[in-house]
């Protein structure tokens, strides 16, 4: 297969319920309608259920689609594995539940022709999200502005695209999350996005933030108390690494 223009990377962990909703069919049908070349890379994070087997059977009818079976390392490690294995000039990673639908990609891609290296989705309205999650998001925004000086409204949206070169360079400089040192948690890990974006700015990559539609899907992997503590801890780790010069070596 020749190098495609776009790679879509989808991490998967215990996704039987989402697969029953035919979310992968929606992604695949959208990609089929595009004029550019593409590939779909699904990365199973060592799911203990039938997720990987179900995906393997499902994608037999899909072209330009492959499944990577990875050991359980958490979402950060799974996304890294998918991006490093991707072949596209541009790489998008997006969540299996399609809280941000794949058609929002049309808002991100034009920014690359404007010279941006990374384009991140920023959730609009957070439809259906409980008030506790909205409050958590606001507090997180304030803390990351103070501790990391990241200027973005939303660092945590699971809908991010980047050039292949910038993505592989950034992942090669990550310290909290890497191929050797990744989260064991199945939960959403705030530090992964924070470290990614901090390194991107530190290494001079141009980052655009684009409003995208998002709908709360009621995931059980998000816990306000646990994720707030873990996010703060990871913010501090990134700051310490930066002070020690670990991101410029």
Rounded mean pLDDT of 217-223? 60
Name all domains of the chain by residue range, CATH numbers in brackets.
Answer: 6-243 (3.90.550.10)
**Statement: residue 222 has pLDDT above 60:** no
Burial of 99: CB neighbours in 10 Å, binned 0-12, 13-18, 19+: buried
Report the chain's C-alpha Rg in angstroms. 17
Top pLDDT among 142 and 21 is at 21
Q: How far apart are CA 119 and CA 98, in angstroms?
A: 18
**Cβ partners under 8 Å of residue 60, min gap 6:** none
User: C-alpha distances in angstroms, 169 versus 13, 83, 140, 172, 240?
Assistant: 26, 11, 26, 5, 21
Rounded mean pLDDT of 166-179? 86
* Per-residue pLDDT tens digits for 178-216: 655 555 555 556 789 999 999 999 999 999 999 999 987
Nearest by Cα to 155 from 137, 170, 167, 173: 137
Residue 111 has a pLDDT of 98
As beta bridge partners, residue 207 has 118
Residue 188 has a pLDDT of 56
Burial of 29: CB neighbours in 10 Å, binned 0-12, 13-18, 19+: exposed
Residue 223 has a pLDDT of 58
């Amino acid at each position: 297969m020749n190098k495609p223009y776009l790679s879509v990377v989808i991490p998967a962990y215990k996704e039987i319920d989402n697969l029953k909703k035919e979310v992968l069919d929606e992604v695949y049908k959208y990609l089929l309608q595009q004029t550019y070349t593409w590939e779909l890379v699904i990365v199973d994070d060592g799911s203990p259920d039938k997720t990987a087997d179900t995906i393997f059977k499902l994608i037999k009818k899909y072209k330009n689609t492959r499944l990577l079976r990875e050991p359980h390392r958490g979402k950060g490690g799974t996304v890294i594995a998918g991006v490093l294995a991707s072949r596209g000039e541009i790489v998008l990673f997006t969540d299996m539940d399609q809280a941000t639908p794949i058609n929002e990609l049309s808002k991100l891609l034009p920014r690359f022709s404007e010279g941006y290296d990374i384009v991140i989705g920023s959730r609009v309205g957070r439809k259906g999200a409980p008030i506790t999650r909205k409050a958590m998001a606001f507090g997180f925004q304030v803390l990351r502005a103070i501790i990391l000086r990241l200027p973005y409204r939303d660092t945590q949206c699971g809908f991010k695209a980047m050039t292949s070169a910038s993505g592989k360079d950034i992942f090669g400089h990550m310290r909290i999350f890497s191929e050797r040192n990744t989260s064991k948690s199945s939960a959403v890990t705030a530090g992964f996005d924070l470290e990614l974006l901090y390194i991107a700015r530190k290494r001079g990559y141009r980052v655009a933030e684009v409003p995208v539609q998002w709908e709360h899907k009621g995931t059980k992997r998000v816990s306000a108390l646990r994720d707030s503590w873990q996010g703060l801890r990871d913010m501090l780790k990134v700051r310490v690494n930066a002070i020690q010069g670990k991101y410029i070596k």
